[in-house]
Amino acid sequence: MLVVTTIKELQQALSPYLSDNQTIGFVPTMGALHAGHQSLFSVARDHHDVVVVSIFVNPLQFGPGEDYETYPRQQALDEQVARESGCDVLFCPTVGEMYPDGFPQVVHVKQGADVMCGRSRPGHFDGVATVVLKLFSVVQPNEAFFGEKDAQQLAIIKQLVKEFFLPITVTGCPTVREEDGLARSSRNVYLTAEERRYAPLLYKALQKAQASGKRDPSILVADVKATLASIPVGEIDYVEAYEYPSLKKVNEANALIIVAFAYQFKKARLIDHIVMDFNNRGETPCSEQ
């Protein structure tokens, strides 16, 4: 596995593959790699000649007071994980490499960013879309892989690719969970021992709402809120339900519905969701069990 830090090195590394018409699978990450990332590397490995992984903690997607400075960084360990996962090229640019002139022009997400995490984190998805567009431009992958866990991010990146006519397939991969149901996240390391004991209730709240067979989004939201409110540590950031992937108000009975939340523990703000297909007797379409 080749580790590169500049765009020039990256493009030199990829150039022989491109001229040989080999396909590139790309997994952009912020590092602190875990089993969720590894599942993306594995799918990319299965489908492409070359697997490119990027590790870049993107300052533009963190707001004031968020955890940009303390976001877990573990370069040596991440390199080992990427290597053992069969990645070919690991791209670890500096902030100056990705933003040589600061932020003179950005992608502004006008639709789908005013709800859920977009409301809690103003500008977050502008930062995500901007850096993903830059990374797509330098890597020029055939296919890019993202976790379904970040459902709003996935919807916005699919829209980004459609909007700017990028010749890239964006593929979402199922959320990887701990045995007790907690979604894998780089931020789980922030949890205290006590918080970790309660954390499985996050996903249980969603499962319980889904199992109720109820179909009214506001009732589903209320049910999830009721379960989350029983956790004695931390607090609810939001619980919301929308059509997916439009992230618009639910207005048809036969639609995909996302019920999603963010929950703020002392240091870790965790998100999770379920997508329900009301056209399909409440079963989930996205392998999220």
For the question of residue 37 being annotated catalytic, the response is: yes
Q: Is 96 exposed, middle or buried (0-12, 13-18, 19+ CB in 10 A)?
A: exposed
**Was 32 annotated as part of a binding site?**
yes
Minimum CB separation of residue 129 from a second copy in Å reads 6
> Smallest distance, Å, CB 198 to a second copy?
37
Q: Is 149 annotated as a binding residue?
A: yes
Q: Among residues 94, 10, 102, which one has the least CA distance to residue 52?
A: 10
Residue 232 half-sphere exposure, CB side, CA atoms within 13 Å?
2
Residues 212 and 181: their CA atoms lie apart, in Å, by 18
Residue written as tokens 């209730």? 201
Establish whether 204 is an annotated binding residue: no
Cβ proximity to a second copy, 110 vs 281, nearer residue: 110
- Ligand-binding annotation for 148, yes or no, is yes
Nearer to a second copy, 5 or 137 (CB): 137
Q: How far is the CB of 64 from a second copy (least distance, A)?
A: 17
**Rounded Cα gap, residues 169 and 26, in angstroms:** 10
CB closer to a second copy out of 1 and 166:
166
How many Cα atoms occupy the beta-carbon half-sphere of 240 within 13 Å? 21
Which stretches of the chain bind a second copy, using CB under 8 A? 7, 100-112, 126, 129, 133-134, 137-138, 156, 159-160, 162-166
Per the annotation, binding residues are: 30-37, 61, 147-150, 153, 176, 184-187
Active site residues: 37
